[in-house]
Amino acid sequence: MRLLGIETSCDETAAAVIDGHVASDGTPSGRILSNIVLSQKDHAAFGGVVPEIAARAHVMAIDSVIMTAMKQAAIEQADLEFTALDAIAVSSGPGLIGGLIVGLMGAKALALAHDLPFLGINHLEGHALTARLSDGLAYPYLLLLVSGGHSQILLVSGLGRYDRLGSTIDDALGEAFDKTAKLLGLGYPGGPAVERAALGGDADRFRFPMPLRGKMPPNFSFSGLKTAVRQQAGELLKSGHLSDQDVADLCASFQKTVAAIVEDRLIRAWELAMQRADLQAVLMGQPLPLVVAGGVAANMVLRTHLTQLADRLGTRIVTPPLNLCGDNGAMIAWAGLERFSAGESHDFSLAPRARWPLDMKAPTMIGHGRAGAKV
């Protein structure tokens, strides 16, 4: 099957074409024919995503991003045209409503014009299933989903079968990176900036708090961490100015603390998962794979830490390639392919959803399917 996937839920205008299928035994296999991501630059001056600017920028870019994705796919598969697609998938939530409307309208118009099935996809499901596209991973797995608007640990047992084991009770992890970068004057998006600044830093110079450490359920709390960085920076400023080395040390210490927090929460989540008889019956002695997804999954310190953790737990970790960690159309196309293979499609009355949790049974929490980080 070939699908076009469109993503406009936050500050990336993205479109991709994939070719793949899910075998009758559930084994996934997919190939990316094109994956075009245009990251909006206009938010940098504001230190976060401004919804109105994002929506306008999506309107300006969406046509050319989709056409470029189609043209590139046609190089891979000669003469690929809209009519050769099996369906069109688009992020229909959660996210910023203005951006979601732009993507949805574009997808509906194309589906109508070319008489193609159309699917509205949960953006978080796109992240959650990326490892099936990138690595052909079978269900079940334990997923750490960390992005600008979300931080959750989910047990993924099948398509649409998500159990949230933990979630943030305040800031999302990407948001903590973005706010830390902003207060240190490092610009937006903050994650890559903090990671770069930390390269020359001493991760042991500062000790920051690790809220909820050892506690069950394995929830996250990151707002205190950002405050601790602010206070420490304030202390340093009292004795003069903040040197580049100070900033590097603050960033390195922040990242080290983040990695330790995530590791602690994942170990608790792993323990919870291991207690489930239904999961043990499916695993039949095989270890439960770990997966990390979302924009923050691009962080090398976190990836290295989690790879070592997986070793200690006696399992493997799937870390998607960097271009599939942040928002992209390929993950939406893949989730669409899985849903379409399961017989789903939507009619044109489908509306965008600002909030759309993956695990509908879990109680409402802040990082549980809400819109991306906003200023």
* Total number of residues that touch Zn ion (CB under 5 A): 2
Binding site for ligand KG4 (CB under 6 A): 10, 147-149, 174, 177-178, 189-192, 195, 294-296, 298-299, 326-327, 372-373
Query: Of these partners, Zn ion, ligand KG4, none, which one is at the site of residue 191 (CB under 5 to 8 Å by kind)?
Result: ligand KG4
Compute the C-alpha angle 257/262/267, nearest 5°.
Answer: 130
Query: Of these partners, ligand KG4, Zn ion, none, which one is at the site of residue 220 (CB under 5 to 8 Å by kind)?
Result: none
Tell me the backbone φ, ψ of residue 216, rounded to 5 degrees.
-115, 150
Of 51 and 372, CB closest to ligand KG4: 372
**What order of strands is seen across the sheet that includes strand 2-7?**
28-39, 12-22, 2-7, 87-93, 118-122
Q: How many residues does the chain have?
A: 375
DSSP state, residue 228: H
Cα(147)–Cα(130) distance, rounded to whole angstroms? 14
Of 289 and 369, CB closest to ligand KG4: 369
Shortest Cβ distance from residue 173 to Zn ion (Å)?
A: 12
Shortest Cβ distance from residue 48 to ligand KG4 (Å)?
A: 9
Cα(318)–Cα(334) distance, rounded to whole angstroms? 17
Cα(373)–Cα(118) distance, rounded to whole angstroms? 28
Do 153 and 271 touch, CB atoms closer than 8 A?
no
Is residue 40 a contact residue for Zn ion (CB under 5 A)? no
Shortest Cβ distance from residue 322 to ligand KG4 (Å)?
A: 8
Do 9 and 93 touch, CB atoms closer than 8 A?
yes
Shortest Cβ distance from residue 47 to ligand KG4 (Å)?
A: 11
Cα(224)–Cα(209) distance, rounded to whole angstroms? 7
Structure tokens that stand for 36 in this block:
């075009």
Is residue 299 a contact residue for Zn ion (CB under 5 A)? no
Shortest Cβ distance from residue 302 to ligand KG4 (Å)?
A: 7
Cα 67 from chain centroid (whole Å) = 24
Query: Of these partners, Zn ion, ligand KG4, none, which one is at the site of residue 201 (CB under 5 to 8 Å by kind)?
Result: none
Rounded to whole angstroms, the maximal C-alpha distance in the chain is: 67
Structure tokens that stand for 90 in this block:
């688009």
**What order of strands is seen across the sheet that includes strand 141-146?**
161-167, 151-158, 141-146, 290-293, 317-318
Give the N- to C-terminal CA distance of the chain in Å, as an integer.
Answer: 39
Cα(198)–Cα(247) distance, rounded to whole angstroms? 8
What residues form DSSP beta bridges with 209?
none
Query: Of these partners, ligand KG4, Zn ion, none, which one is at the site of residue 228 (CB under 5 to 8 Å by kind)?
Result: none
Query: Of these partners, Zn ion, ligand KG4, none, which one is at the site of residue 254 (CB under 5 to 8 Å by kind)?
Result: none
Of 10 and 110, CB closest to ligand KG4: 10
Compute the C-alpha angle 14/136/307, nearest 5°.
Answer: 90
Cα 255 from chain centroid (whole Å) = 18
Shortest Cβ distance from residue 327 to ligand KG4 (Å)?
A: 4
Query: Of these partners, Zn ion, ligand KG4, none, which one is at the site of residue 18 (CB under 5 to 8 Å by kind)?
Result: none
Cα(226)–Cα(179) distance, rounded to whole angstroms? 7
Shortest Cβ distance from residue 5 to ligand KG4 (Å)?
A: 15
Structure tokens that stand for 236 in this block:
């340093």
Query: Of these partners, Zn ion, ligand KG4, none, which one is at the site of residue 189 (CB under 5 to 8 Å by kind)?
Result: ligand KG4
Of 159 and 302, CB closest to ligand KG4: 302
Sole binder of Zn ion in the list 171, 175, 249, 327 (CB under 5 A): 327
Shortest Cβ distance from residue 107 to Zn ion (Å)?
A: 17
Query: Of these partners, ligand KG4, Zn ion, none, which one is at the site of residue 306 (CB under 5 to 8 Å by kind)?
Result: none
Query: Of these partners, ligand KG4, Zn ion, none, which one is at the site of residue 195 (CB under 5 to 8 Å by kind)?
Result: ligand KG4
Of 10 and 198, CB closest to Zn ion: 10
Shortest Cβ distance from residue 154 to ligand KG4 (Å)?
A: 15
Of 43 and 268, CB closest to Zn ion: 43
Is residue 147 a contact residue for Zn ion (CB under 5 A)? yes
Of 28 and 174, CB closest to ligand KG4: 174
Can you give the binding site for Zn ion, defined by CB under 5 A? 147, 327
